[in-house]
């Protein structure tokens, strides 16, 4: 705000200076002065005054606001607490209540109806991470995906007839209850 008014004031000063300079050059400002008076020294006091005025006004706390105060928006009255309350507590500014939260039937953690349960998904992610680690060890390097299906077998399981030509990934643990085929 202050920088804007100072900028505006300095612009106005420069415009006034340009205007007076043009008048002096054109010779139209010597209406009241005598015919034989010299125009030269009359320039210097004007130039001195402007920086003097600037120096006088800059130590003041509000330069330019005396002129610009007419065209700045300002509140007319203090907003009462009732008006403030009605604005702050309007329907659109309150936090909306979510009615789509329900407990997951498997683990009991809360989940949104259209989103998978975070706990159950983390459980699945962990197991898939371990399976992928096993696959990585079996492949032994990057870009070696074999063109065969994969099947995961846990402790004490043997491949069935469907798992004939598939690559077998062994997991050395009991089959989890949530991983039925």
Partner 1 sequence: MRLTLQMLISHGRVARRIGLGPESRINMLRNILTGLVRHERIETTKVRADEVRFYAEKLIDYAKKGDTDGKAMKMASFWLTEKDLVPKLFKVLAPRFENHSTGYTRMARIPNRENLDRAQMAVLEYKGNPFPPLYPVKKENELTLINQLLKGYREERARARVLAAEA
Residue 148 is a binding residue for partner 1 (CB under 8 A): yes
Question: For the chain, how far is it from start to end, CA to CA, in angstroms?
Answer: 70
> Which residues lie closer than 8 Å to 67 by C-beta, 6 or more apart?
9
Residue 138 is a binding residue for partner 1 (CB under 8 A): no
Residue 8 is a binding residue for partner 1 (CB under 8 A): no
> Smallest distance, Å, CB 119 to partner 1?
10
Buried b (16+ CB within 10 A) or exposed e, 68-107: beeeeeeeeeeeeeeeeeeeeeeeeeeeeeeeeeeeeeee
Q: Residue ranges of the alpha helices (H) in the chain?
A: 2-26, 40-57, 65-68, 81-88, 118-139
Residue 174 is a binding residue for partner 1 (CB under 8 A): no
Residue 180 is a binding residue for partner 1 (CB under 8 A): yes
Residue 17 is a binding residue for partner 1 (CB under 8 A): no
Between residues 7 and 179, which has the closer beta carbon with respect to partner 1?
Answer: 179
Interaction residues for partner 1, span 151-170 (CB under 8 A)? 151-152, 169
The region of 14-22, 25-33, 58-66, 144-152 touching partner 1 under the rule CB under 8 A is: 144-152
> Smallest distance, Å, CB 129 to partner 1?
10
Q: Which helix (H) or strand (E) holds 103?
A: strand 101-103
Residue 152 burial class via C-beta count within 10 angstroms: exposed 0-12, middle 13-18, buried 19 and up: buried
> Smallest distance, Å, CB 174 to partner 1?
14
Q: Coil, helix or strand for 13? A: helix
User: Can you tell me which of 128, 133, 160, 162 binds partner 1, judged by CB under 8 A?
Assistant: 128
Residue 114 is a binding residue for partner 1 (CB under 8 A): yes
**Chain positions contacting partner 1, by CB under 8 A:** 105-106, 114-116, 118, 120-121, 124, 127-128, 131-132, 143-152, 169, 176, 178-180
């Amino acid at each position: 705000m202050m920088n804007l008014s100072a900028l505006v004031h300095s612009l106005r000063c420069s415009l006034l200076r340009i205007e007076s300079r043009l008048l002096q050059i054109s010779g139209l400002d010597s209406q009241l002065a005598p015919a034989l008076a010299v125009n030269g020294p009359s320039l210097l006091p004007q130039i001195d005054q402007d920086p003097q005025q600037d120096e006088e006004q800059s130590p003041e706390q509000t330069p330019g606001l005396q002129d610009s105060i007419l065209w700045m928006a300002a509140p007319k009255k203090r907003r009462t607490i009732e008006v403030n309350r009605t604005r702050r507590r309007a329907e659109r500014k309150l936090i909306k209540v979510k009615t789509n939260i329900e407990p997951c039937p498997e683990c009991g953690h809360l989940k949104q109806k259209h989103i998978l349960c975070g706990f159950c998904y983390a459980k699945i992610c962990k197991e898939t991470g371990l399976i992928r680690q096993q696959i990585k060890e079996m492949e032994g390097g990057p870009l070696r995906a074999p063109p065969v299906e994969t099947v995961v077998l846990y402790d004490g399981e043997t491949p069935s007839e469907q798992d004939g030509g598939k690559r077998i990934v062994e997991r050395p643990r009991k089959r989890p209850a949530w991983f039925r085929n």
